[in-house]
């Protein structure tokens, strides 16, 4: 959530610093943070923004030189990308709406639950003891992120004004049949979608 707040406040990029693996004061806090960063990068990509605007670097407190190297490299990368949204072609009110939808998505209990399972699914597995590779987790998370972000963006766009499903499909960058499915989901969840028409 803090990462998205930074982007909403105008940051062009965010670097998350964490302890080295196996050296975190909070046991597995850095590994849990890794899952949160991975999900947030997928949210950024879904919203049409470069996921390279968010990085996580692990280092120890004794690695001052490494910290400087990471920060300098990240600053150069962000300078290459330019201001948030400009190189991606997402600016003004559209950028603000997408960032708000992204913030709503990462704040929602569904994505928070998914973030919390990132490490568990790798190390302990699911209810049946099946462990997932990073590739498998990535595919599964991608679907959840896509759905939640689209749902939040559709809801915000309908709050702005009435839209047809076809118009929404262009705005949220997905086929109209998927938009219709999300509209039905919003209705089931009790959200007012009276502005939406087929």
The pLDDT > 90 percentage for the chain reads 50
Distance CA 198, CA 185 (A): 15
- Assess whether pLDDT exceeds 70 at residue 25: yes
For residue 51, give the 3-state DSSP assignment. helix
- Assess whether pLDDT exceeds 90 at residue 28: no
Half-sphere exposure in the Cβ direction for 89 (13 Å, CA): 1
Distance CA 136, CA 113 (A): 17
Per-residue pLDDT of 121-151, as tens digits, reads: 767 777 777 777 777 777 777 788 888 899 9
Per-residue pLDDT of 84-105, as tens digits, reads: 999 999 999 999 999 999 999 8
Q: Please give the residue that has the higher pLDDT: either 59 or 140.
A: 59
């Amino acid at each position: 959530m803090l990462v998205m707040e930074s982007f909403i406040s105008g940051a062009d990029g965010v670097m998350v610093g964490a302890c080295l693996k196996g050296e975190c004061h909070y046991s597995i806090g850095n590994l849990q943070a890794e899952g949160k960063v991975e999900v947030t990068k997928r949210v950024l990509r879904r919203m049409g923004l470069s996921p390279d605007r968010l990085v996580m670097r692990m280092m120890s407190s004794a690695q001052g030189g490494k910290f400087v190297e990471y920060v300098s490299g990240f600053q150069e990368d962000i300078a290459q990308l330019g201001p948030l949204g400009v190189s991606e072609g997402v600016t003004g009110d559209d950028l603000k709406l997408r960032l708000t939808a992204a913030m709503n998505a990462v704040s929602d209990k569904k994505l928070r639950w998914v973030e919390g399972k990132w490490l568990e699914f790798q190390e302990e597995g699911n209810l049946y003891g099946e462990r997932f590779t990073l590739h498998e987790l990535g595919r599964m998370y991608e679907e959840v992120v896509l759905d939640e972000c689209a749902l939040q963006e559709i809801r915000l766009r309908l709050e702005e004004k009435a839209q047809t499903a076809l118009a929404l499909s262009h705005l949220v960058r997905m086929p109209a049949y998927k938009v219709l499915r999300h509209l039905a989901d919003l209705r089931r969840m009790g959200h007012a979608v009276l502005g939406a028409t087929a």
